[in-house]
Amino acid sequence: MQEHEAYMRRCLELAQLGMGSVSPNPMVGAVLVHGGRIVAEDFHRKFGGPHAEALVMVDVQRRYGERAADLFRSATMYVSLEPCAHYGKTPPCAKLLADHQVARVVIACRDPFDKVNGLGVSILKEAGVEVIEGVLEREASWINRRFMTRVRHQRPYIILKWAQTADGYMAPSDRTQRWITGEVAQQLVHRWRSEEDAVLVGTKTALMDHPQLTVRKWQGKNPKRILVDKYLAVSPHTALFDGSAETIVFNASRSDWTENVKYIELEDMDWYLPQKIAYQLYLMDIQSLIVEGGRNTLDLFIDAGLWDEARVFTSRDMWGAGISSPALHAAPGESHPIGPDRLDIYYRNRYQTV
């Protein structure tokens, strides 16, 4: 079992290289082992592209030519998620492995998607392939917690983010803009944005802070920008509408699509607003969301119990007055120094969503 775990850990390392590129697909790594050594490895690189197992098989065929067939028949494929069993943007990987008579397939966890769940394993077993399941299952599920949450709960994985002073304030009382964290924390936030599908703010944050919600301090893709603006009070000439990323505006009166801006009307925005937003984003294949709004927006999601992680920066500054930060009434699961600041990460139900 230790040997299986070592190779599976490599699969998990590879899988995470697809962060920010494969959504709404899961991140998957695959390793082919023959004669006690890794002969090929790869990961799912982008949505719509070949899956990890297919990339490994092609690589082996390219490098070993006619010898590849014999190699497959005595090799073990390690894969961090059950091989797919249906025709989507790519052919089913389970059938590919079965057709090439790979001797053994070791899987970390099953795919909860109803067109795959258990069916990939069945295809392999019916073809005479030995299947071992559950190697580092919890770790593999956790890596794909965004995908698991979307499939099982029909909503995105929701991350709350804010910064606060050492005495618990997140903004000045007069609503002026005032930085709390240092440059290192700001760069980390931009990296987080590149890893998630969308980032959300409310009307007050958009009006007061004029955020761009881009990754200009990090290399990567800009997330979709979500603005909750009931009365369309935010000017279309602000940075949120600069065309650098798709912008979705949830509001009470308008539904249309103009260039890179989508207006979505929601009925009765005073009731169950976070739930309505989460379901709309699910329908749009948005798998993960960072909520970067002000106190009112954050409290909406906290009060609804609709969050999975909270990432909270605390600086050394003491303001003595201001708008108080949200209260989670929980202990952080992790704490890290980030430059002069501290990052606390809270998990609402760690591992339970997977």
Contact criterion met (CB below 8 Å) for 144 and 354: yes
Residue type at 42? D
Q: Tell me the mean pLDDT in the region 121-130.
A: 95
pLDDT value at position 96?
A: 94
In the chain, DSSP finds a helix count (H) and a strand count (E) of 11, 17
Residues 115, 169: one domain? no
Mean pLDDT across the chain: 93
Domain contains 354: no
- Tokens 């650098």 locate to 244
pLDDT value at position 352?
A: 55
What CATH number is given to the structural domain containing 271? 3.40.430.10
Out of 149-163, 296-310, 337-351, pick the least confident.
Answer: 337-351
Domain contains 317: yes
Predicted model pTM: 0.93
- Among the options 53, 82, 196, 309, which is catalytic? 53
Residues 167, 290: one domain? yes
pLDDT digits (tens, 9 = 90+) for 312-328: 999 999 999 999 999 99
Contact criterion met (CB below 8 Å) for 223 and 197: yes
Q: Which structural domain, as residue segments, surrounds residue 264?
A: 149-347
Out of 76-90, 158-172, 245-259, 320-334, pick the least confident.
Answer: 76-90
Residues 159, 118: one domain? no
Cα(223)–Cα(234) distance, integer angstroms: 19
Contact criterion met (CB below 8 Å) for 53 and 97: yes
Contact criterion met (CB below 8 Å) for 313 and 338: yes
Residue type at 343? L
Among 143, 174, 195, residue at a domain's last position: 143
Residues 203, 340: one domain? yes
* Cross-strand bridge partners of residue 157: 288
What CATH number is given to the structural domain containing 67? 3.40.140.10
Confidence of residue 15 (pLDDT cuts 50, 70, 90): very high
Percent of the chain past pLDDT 90, that is, above it, reads 86
Confidence of residue 26 (pLDDT cuts 50, 70, 90): very high
Domain contains 74: yes
pLDDT digits (tens, 9 = 90+) for 254-289: 999 988 999 999 999 999 999 999 999 999 999 999
Q: Which two tokens stand for residue 202?
A: 């409310």
Cα(123)–Cα(135) distance, integer angstroms: 19
Q: Tell me the mean pLDDT in the region 163-177.
A: 88
Domain contains 19: yes
- Residue 96 CB-half CA count within 13 A: 21
Report which secondary-structure segment, H or E, holds 345.
strand 341-347
pLDDT digits (tens, 9 = 90+) for 206-242: 999 899 999 998 888 999 999 999 999 999 999 999 9
Q: Tell me the mean pLDDT in the region 243-247.
A: 94
pLDDT value at position 179?
A: 85
Domain contains 285: yes
For residue 310, pLDDT over 70 is answered with: yes
Residues 129, 252: one domain? no
Residues 254, 316: one domain? yes
Cα(71)–Cα(140) distance, integer angstroms: 27
Residues 74, 183: one domain? no
Domain contains 138: yes
pLDDT digits (tens, 9 = 90+) for 40-96: 999 999 998 999 999 999 999 999 998 999 999 999 999 999 999 877 767 789 999
Domain contains 103: yes
Residues 240, 296: one domain? yes
pLDDT value at position 351?
A: 58
pLDDT value at position 258?
A: 85
Which residue, 246, 238, 242, 202, is CA-closest to 222?
246
Contact criterion met (CB below 8 Å) for 153 and 287: no
Which residue, 136, 84, 143, 137, is CA-closest to 288?
143
**Where would I find the beta strands (DSSP E) of 96-241?**
104-107, 130-133, 157-164, 169-171, 198-202, 224-228
Residues 53, 27: one domain? yes
Cα(203)–Cα(231) distance, integer angstroms: 9
Residues 135, 153: one domain? no
Cα(259)–Cα(242) distance, integer angstroms: 11
Counting the structural domains of the chain, the total is 2
Domain contains 329: yes
Active site residue 133: no
pLDDT value at position 113?
A: 85
Among 118, 143, 168, residue at a domain's last position: 143
* CA distance between the termini of the chain: 23
Cα(67)–Cα(187) distance, integer angstroms: 48
Residues 10, 25: one domain? yes
Among 143, 173, 192, residue at a domain's last position: 143
Confidence of residue 119 (pLDDT cuts 50, 70, 90): very high
Residues 73, 26: one domain? yes
